[in-house]
Structure 1
Amino acid sequence: MADVVFFDLDGTLVDHRSAVWEAIGQIVQAAPNATAPPQELAALWWALEARHMREYLAGQCSFAEHHRRRLRSFLPALGEPVPQSPRLLDAWITDRYLTAFEESWQTYPDVRPCLENLKRLPRGPRLAVLTNGDPGQQRAKLARFGLLEYFEAVLTPTELGAAKPAAYTTACRWMRTDPAQAVNVGDMLESDANAAVFAGLTGIWLDRGIDFVTGGPSPTADKTVLRIERLTDLPDHLSHTNV
């Protein structure tokens, strides 16, 4: 049995993609001066999120600034003027986007049953969340659904000083465990499963049937990848492995 199981958060515990599309969908549908159809505008927002999130994770800007950069690029396509003041940009994000985004958060139905079953395992593993997101926002998601109590730690680049995949080794040190005794579970084949294996952990790919980035079908994995389709498959999987 593993000593520690790390869980990714977005796309694994909480349906981040659906929340983004719901929130930005409301905005673009109500934009009378938009320069493109709603679907194109939503796709632009998603692409800008990925671009500026990478900048945040690389330490090139704060979490708030990554939102501002996204908005500066997006507002012209929405047909709206771009405020020069960071305060006004922050207000737009809070009032127009974050409120709807947070209201749209949902956990996947297999999350709580999985965590409850892990808690009941004899000599079960310690659990932690390992996410590249903002610590305040990620803890708020877990608190919303009463999930914080299941985890010994919620680890982000703020605590670890690095994002995944570099964070895997640091996260193991934080949890006082050896990578060989740790498991990482997440919905991203490369960054959650393959990168964890490269760092010496056991990587388990949660294949939810959709590519988190593109929204298309899941990528194809070779037969060496440990794969599950539901988090409720995880407790039994751990019970039958030598990790």
Structure 2
Amino acid sequence: MRGSVDGVLFDVDDTLIDTRAAFTVAWEVAVGQFLPALGPGDVDAVVRSWRADVDGYYAAYTQGRMSYTEQRWRRVNAVHAEHGGPALDEAEFHAWNTVYEEAFQGAWAAFDDALAAMDALRSAGVAVGIVTNARSDYQRAKLERAGLDVPEVLVGVDRFGVGKPDPRIFLAGAEGLGTDPARTAYVGDELEVDALGAIRAGLRGLWLDRPGTRRHEIPDSTVTAAMTSGVVPLPSLTHLAPTLLNPPAR
């Protein structure tokens, strides 16, 4: 892969933006108001449930089978059910969502390695863009609030009504950059949706596997198979430019 890319497309959440930390801040507020039987020590378990989304509600949204509002409503009620909270009716959900979203947006922040990674690629003449499984306007606001330069190419789930791993969204990103998919890399934190999805679409797939941040357990055999398929794992974005740009040792 090294020295063979003209463009790099980034995921946003838990790749450039520390969304897990923002979830934690938002759920600290939501637990205090809507799950009073729980204490501060329970927030991490609630966040793990939220991120795991075992019922696949967010995936249903990215597949065009559910609206954004419906998936969030169902998802919060699933978390409440798991942790002994009440089911929220429509009015209660909207009250919850107002509280949660205000705290969530207030906690948006970039990872320390995000800006430098993007700048290193741009300085080397590599085109940079975004492909994300959220609405483009929402992600643009997130990047701006986090202090990151928003690339001109930003393809969201609203482009086709579906998101990753649908090949169209990856290919739209490469088309926006004006780069051959085979010479375009995609980097994201989800092995299946991001890295393998990119490879199946004809791009290069890099899996950002920050220590301790996986949404769920991934067997070693699955990781090995993914690497055999061409996935390149990275422990941080600090390793991205050297991996892509440095020529191999001879």
Q: Which residue of 1 aligns with 2:142?
A: 141
Structure 1: which amino acid aligns with 2:177?
M
Residues 164-203 of structure 1: pairs in structure 2 closer than 5 A: 164-166=164-166, 167-203=169-205
* TM-aligned CA distance change 1:232 to 1:81, over 3 Å: closer
- Distance in 2 between residues matched to 1:73 and 1:186, nearest whole Å: 26
Q: Which residue of 2 aligns with 1:52?
A: 57
* TM-aligned CA distance change 1:182 to 1:72, over 3 Å: same
Q: How does the TM-score come out when normalised to structure 1?
A: 0.81
Note the alpha carbon deviations across 1:219-238, whole angstroms, 9 max, x for none.
Answer: 74446532322212222222
Q: Which residue of 2 aligns with 1:208?
A: 210
Q: Which residue of 2 aligns with 1:155?
A: 155
Q: Which residue of 2 aligns with 1:69?
A: 74
Residues 78-93 of structure 1: pairs in structure 2 closer than 5 A: 79-80=85-86, 82-85=88-91, 88-93=92-97
Q: Which residue of 1 aligns with 2:11?
A: 8
* % identical equivalent positions: 31
RMSD: 3.0
8 A Cα contact 2:15 2:188, kept in partner: yes
Cα displacement (A) at 1:214: 2.4
8 A Cα contact 1:17 1:212, kept in partner: no
Q: Which residue of 2 aligns with 1:107?
A: 110
Q: Which residue of 1 aligns with 2:98?
A: 94
- Distance in 1 between residues matched to 2:173 and 2:108, nearest whole Å: 26
Structure 1: which amino acid aligns with 2:236?
R
Structure 1: which amino acid aligns with 2:192?
E
8 A Cα contact 2:170 2:201, kept in partner: yes
* TM-aligned CA distance change 1:93 to 1:214, over 3 Å: same
Gapped regions of structure 1 (runs ≥ 5): none
- Distance in 2 between residues matched to 1:65 and 1:220, nearest whole Å: 33
Cα displacement (A) at 1:153: 1.3
- SS for the counterpart of 1:159 is coil
* TM-aligned CA distance change 1:81 to 1:164, over 3 Å: closer
- Distance in 2 between residues matched to 1:47 and 1:189, nearest whole Å: 14
- Distance in 1 between residues matched to 2:104 and 2:62, nearest whole Å: 21
Q: How does the TM-score come out when normalised to structure 2?
A: 0.79
Cα displacement (A) at 1:195: 2.3
- SS for the counterpart of 1:5 is strand
- Distance in 1 between residues matched to 2:219 and 2:143, nearest whole Å: 27
Gapped regions of structure 2 (runs ≥ 5): none
- Distance in 1 between residues matched to 2:175 and 2:201, nearest whole Å: 12
